[in-house]
Structures are given as structure tokens and as C-alpha cells.
Chain A
Amino acid sequence: MTEIQENVVPDAGMSVDVSQRVRMWAAFRRNKTAVVGGVLAVLIVLVAVFAPLLAPYDPLVQDAEVRLSGRSAEHWLGTDDFGRDVLSRIIWGSRVSLIIGLVSVFLGMVAGTAMGMVAGYYGGKIETLIMRAVDVLMCFPDLILAIAVTAVLGSNLVNLIITIAIVMTPRFARLSHGQLLKIKESEYVIAAQAIGARVPRIIVRHIFPNIFGELLVAGTLWVGVAIRLEANLAFIGLGVQPPTPTWGNMIREGVDVLINAPGISIFSGLSILITILAFNTLGDGIRDMIDPRLRGE
């Protein structure tokens, strides 16, 4: 494929030229698992968005007569201890998991990347201060930190998003800091500095497009982490409170009736598993896509 001329020096704004993009997309399409993961992730997001239209029943309506009924024609996945339709609750539960998962990772990415890039670019005391704070936050395992912050902030939707964003921020900070250190000494950055470009312009136009790939991979993979954290918190009882259906809540309620109606826990857990799986395979696919070795170059 050498007849296509490639830009050697990343141009202002675009870090890859068109032919490279075509090759990346082709590489992604070749990876069948990644495509499946991507399609699955999109489908799950659509389910969450269109939950009111898709769910056969109202997830909060109780019907004592059909408590703990197994799978049937009326209730495809059965009912729970209050007679609520499990399938509808799972469909509505996707909203909580996805909102928390996606928004918290996005917030963490914005905050963490900003912190990491500032720390990496300016160095010195700023870098020490920021990266020390990051080190301290990462001294606690994810879940422990999330539990502690939840204890302070409380268990409603917005605060859960903030909590998990706080857990994700140091990860992104470390990642972008490392990437920035690698790129800082590149010729095009030095050239930009030499012609007197101001710092924000250098960061936005030259540095950021080149670390964006890594950020995207990490972001996609860490959506799975965020969703799992939310489910963990919900299972402990620190998540969004009942009667709002969330997958973690449902597993917890299902454990009480595990012997009689294992389906509740099994299917809500399966939803979490499939969602995380989708984002993991998608993230792996994106990672392979941006790796030039695997594009056949």
C-alpha cells in the first residue's frame, strides 16, 4: 500500500490522514469479536434509551398474585418477590448502570486528563503536587475508595456518578501524564514551542490528538470497571436505593430467594456480565485498531 502518500509530520488538527483512517477502520472490521462487542454495546445503549417503549410492564408495579413465578409467556423472565416483572426491571435497570458508567468515566476522563497533562507539561512543583495526590488516591483499591466516598456523599444517582468519577480520575491522570511525558520531547512539540505557540494551543492542537487513541481505549475499557463498581455498590446496599431497579439491587434481592427463584439473580447478573463484556471487547478492538503493527504496516 505504498502508493498512498502518508503525512510524516502530524498536521495541525489531524493526527492521521484519510488513508490511515480507512486502514484503521478496515482493521477494526476484521476483528470480528470487536465488531460484535461494539454492536452489542450500541444495542444495550439503545435498550437503555428506549426502555419505556421496550419494557412490557411497569418495573415498579407490584402484583402479589404472581410473586416469584418462574418464566412464563406473560413474564418472560419471571417475577420477583413483589410480583414485579423481572424483564422490565432489567430493561429499566440498564438506564442506571449505563448512565452512571458512561457519565462517570467521561467526567473522570476530562478531569483526569486535564490534571495529568498539566502535571506532565509543566513539571516541577505542580507535577509533584498533582501526581502525589493521584498516588494517594490510588493507594486504595477502587471499591474501598468508592465505599468511603459514598459514605460521605450519599447514595443518590448524581452523587454516585461523582463518586465513581472520583475513582476514575486518578487512573486517567496517570495515563495522560505518562503519555504526555513520552510526547513532550517530540520534535513537533519542540518546534511549536520554538515558534512561540502558546501552551494551550500546543496542548490542544499537537499533544492531545496524539494521546487521544490511548485515552479512547482506556475510557472504553474502564466503562466496564465503572459499571462493575456501581453494581458492587448496589449489591452492598450503597447504590441507588430501591424500589428503583438497578442490576446490582436486583441481584441482592435475588439472593434472598436464591433457592426458590434463582432466575432473578442469574439474569440480572448476566446483564451486567454481557454489558461489561461488550465494552471490554470493544475496547480491545479499538486498542488493536490504533496499533500500527496490527494494521499490517
Chain B
Amino acid sequence: MKIVTICGAGIGSSGILKVNAEKALAALGLQASVVAADVASVRTVSDDANVILTSQEFVEAIGDTYAEVIVIRNHFDQGEITAAVDRALGEH
């Protein structure tokens, strides 16, 4: 499984999302690779992704994708991010 985090530069906000998504995976006992990227390279990095975590501002630019696109409001809210990862990748 693969999670891609997307922001404008591929450095800051997507980096925060990557770190917190990895914590979420560990807390949930799930395995997935997590890649942070800028929105310009979303096509290349997310063609095999299951989930894209991003901010509202990038949803339109991400466009049609097989991955589930999830908007994170508060990048530092571990509860919000863990719930999103669980909803998308957890066994229910």
C-alpha cells in the first residue's frame, strides 16, 4: 500500500503529513510506504497510490485519480490523520 502526501513545494506541509501518516500507520499496525511530493509531480508519484493526503487547495489540481483523496484540515492533529488513514486503509 502507498500513501502520497501533496503540497506546493513537496517540502513542508507534505513533509509534516508524511511524518504524521507514518505515526498513524505505526499506531494502527498497518504497513504502507509514504511519499511526500509537490503537486506538480502528483501524476508521476501517485499512479500506484492508494491514498493521497493533502490540503483543500490542491484537490482540484490533483484531479481524477484512482487513489482516495483525503483533505487534512489540521496537519498537526494526529487524531484527524490517524482516523483518515484508518478509514482508507484499515480493515473494517
**A and B co-occur in one complex:** no
